[in-house]
Amino acid sequence: MFKVLVSDPISDLGIQQLVEAADVTVDKKPGLSEDELVAIIGDYDALLVRSQTRVTPRIMEAGKKLKVVGRAGVGVDNIDLGAATQYGIIVINAPDGNTITTCEHTFAMIMAVARHIPQAYAKTVSGVWDRKSFLGVELRNKVLGVLGMGRIGSEVALRAKAFGMEILGYDPFMTEERAEKLGIKLASVDEIVRNADFMTVHTPLTAETRHMIGKKQFEVMKPGMRIVNCARGGIIDELALVEAVDNGIVAGAAFDVFEVEPPAADHPFLSHPKIIVTPHLGASTVEAQENVAIDVSEQVLHILRDEPFSNAVNMPPIPANLASQLQPYYALGEKLGNFIAQITDGPVQEITVGYSGELAEVDTQPLTRYIVKGVLSHHLGAENVNVVNSLHLAKERDVNIVINKSHAAKDFTNLVSVSLRTKKEERNAAGTLLTGYGPRIVQIDKFPVDVTPEGNLILISHNDKPGIIGRVGTLLGTNDVNIATMQVGRQLAGGSAIMVLTVDKGADKAILEQLVSLSDLNSAKEITLN
């Protein structure tokens, strides 16, 4: 049974599929402190948050079973992504579900700042009928600068056009073609600052966007500008903004987000007559909250059930067609990696992965993650390695990963080979998927074999001499070890050879030692593949 903790207020309807899943139990505990979360997170397989819960390295470290942190929303700046990767925790978000809602809130703020609606409301309800102080401006024929033309910025631009505004947009990924399609003009930050009547920001908060509108920009800004921030606190320098409003450069500002949330009681925005604020309400509609909770719950279920998933933030996205092509190879890759790790002695230095055939044509990095997971989990423990952190853990340990691709795959449509070089030796195994039969190991070192990578195996290296198979069988039988399958591989008659046995129960160390004492038998290793 998977346990899911919901630590922020998330739509009940949105998480219904988790609540109703037979293999999941959901606990809703909003408002816990970091210490309280650290104390209980060890019981949970998944954590669902919005922006309030700060998912810190301490929480991830304590989350021994934690497979996924699901963010019911876009911004993941409350989640320590580096720590998540380090601890092998997948972080997913719901990037699309609140786009329209946040765009509409931005528009509400643009309108509110243009017509002084909050200030006029406050005065009216206080009993003062003041029709002189709140002269507004129209949006029609005004220039709107949009910084960040992603999902929300593009929707804002679309709606602004309906109001008869001219749009100047800036985004490092915006092309002339896309700008033309959207009916906007591409402009630099400087051009926007100098020419816009309204400006709205829709970027993430990054090192580059922090204070992208600051003192320098206010100095050259078109006087009378109105500014909206429904993205992230810190994109606009708050203190520089207050100064610009007081100096008459900025006519009004509307902020949904703050550098520190909630802002301190004496934050200058909270008492400024020309600055209006909302408490991070951009995504707060019934529809958006349902959407993001549905999206994130669906992906969390996939992750818990080891099914393909999307919207991971700390792993590169895998296009759907690539995912379906690679998916059947994941089990083979992981088992090959684990097999080779179990048969190779010494500290791991280099993993060389070879992809031949059709696999050589595609981006195989997702599959490489499984192979490296297989290798490392033998040494680091299966519970500590997964496809999120496998490459990271390898790098951290100076394990070199080499990828070779070749279009020819000899006798197979596709062949995956894994070589492991340690301080002591280098060994190799290759495998493929046989239609109708599933994963097969088809080569171990230089020997061709046909082994199903499953269960308890014994790998024996011996000299190809008459009677050896009988001696091995007798010895195992005497020790009550039943042989299910046996594969013998050799290159030349009478030369060196290998034997791979599938046995019903594992052979202990004493049995392996007895095997090695047989004449013409050089080594015997036990391998367990789950």
Ligand X SMILES: O=C(O)[C@H](O)COP(=O)(O)O
The residue annotated as part of the active site, out of 71, 105, 280, 369, is 280
Active-site residue, 261 included = yes
Q: Shortest gap between Cβ of 236 and ligand NAD (angstroms)?
A: 12
Distance CA 54, CA 514 (A): 56
- DSSP β-bridge partners for residue 397: none
The residue annotated as part of the active site, out of 105, 232, 369, 421, is 232
Pick the closer one to ligand X by CB: 145 or 282.
282
| Phi, psi at 4, each rounded to 5° | -115, 130
The residue annotated as part of the active site, out of 261, 287, 383, 513, is 261
Size of the site for ligand X (CB under 6 A): 10
Please report, as residue ranges, which positions from 114 to 133 form the binding site for ligand X (by CB under 6 A): none
Distance CA 106, CA 430 (A): 56
List residues near ligand NAD by CB under 6 A: 74-75, 95, 98-99, 102, 147-153, 170-173, 202-204, 208-209, 230-232, 256-257, 280, 282-283
How does strand 166-170 pair with strand 198-201? Answer: unpaired
Q: Shortest gap between Cβ of 274 and ligand X (angstroms)?
A: 24
Other C-beta atoms closer than 10 Å to the C-beta of 57 total: 13
Q: Shortest gap between Cβ of 404 and ligand NAD (angstroms)?
A: 35
Q: What are 413's two structure tokens?
A: 């449509």
Residue 203 binds: one of ligand X, ligand NAD, none (C-beta under 5 to 8 A by kind): ligand NAD
Q: Under 8 Å CB-to-CB from 217, ≥6 apart: which residues? A: 189, 190, 193
Q: Shortest gap between Cβ of 265 and ligand NAD (angstroms)?
A: 21
Please report, as residue ranges, which positions from 355 to 414 form the binding site for ligand X (by CB under 6 A): none
Residue 116 binds: one of ligand NAD, ligand X, none (C-beta under 5 to 8 A by kind): none
Active-site residue, 302 included = no
**What are the CA-CA distances from residue 440 to residues 329, 330, 416, 456, 487 (Å)?**
11, 13, 10, 15, 12
**Binding pattern for the stretch 248-287 against ligand X, x by CB under 6 A and - elsewhere:** --------------------------------x-xxx---
Beta strands in 119-197 (DSSP E): 143-147, 166-170, 185-186
Please classify residue 518 by burial: count the beta carbons closer than 10 Å to its beta carbon, then call 0-12 exposed, 13-18 middle and 19+ buried: middle
Other C-beta atoms closer than 10 Å to the C-beta of 86 total: 18
Distance CA 367, CA 149 (A): 33
Residue 50 binds: one of ligand NAD, ligand X, none (C-beta under 5 to 8 A by kind): ligand X
Q: Shortest gap between Cβ of 258 and ligand X (angstroms)?
A: 12
**Binding pattern for the stretch 39-78 against ligand X, x by CB under 6 A and - elsewhere:** -----------xx---------------------xxx---
The crossing angle, in degrees rounded to 10, of helices 99-115 and 151-162 is 50
Pick the closer one to ligand X by CB: 119 or 209.
209
Q: Counting every residue, how long is the chain?
A: 530
Residue 152 binds: one of ligand X, ligand NAD, none (C-beta under 5 to 8 A by kind): ligand NAD
Q: Shortest gap between Cβ of 105 and ligand NAD (angstroms)?
A: 7
Pick the closer one to ligand X by CB: 26 or 296.
296
Number of H helices, E strands in the chain: 17, 22
Q: Shortest gap between Cβ of 91 and ligand X (angstroms)?
A: 13
**What are the CA-CA distances from residue 501 to residues 459, 473, 478, 483, 522 (Å)?**
7, 10, 16, 7, 15
Distance CA 458, CA 472 (A): 11
Pick the closer one to ligand NAD by CB: 88 or 97.
97
Q: Report which DSSP code applies to 64.
A: T
Place of tokens 């993430």: 204
**Binding pattern for the stretch 283-322 against ligand X, x by CB under 6 A and - elsewhere:** xx--------------------------------------
Pick the closer one to ligand X by CB: 195 or 278.
278
Pick the closer one to ligand NAD by CB: 203 or 419.
203
Pick the closer one to ligand NAD by CB: 177 or 208.
208
Positions annotated as catalytic residues are 232, 261, 280
Residues of the shown chain interacting with ligand X in the complex, contacts defined by CB under 6 A: 50-51, 73-75, 98, 280, 282-284
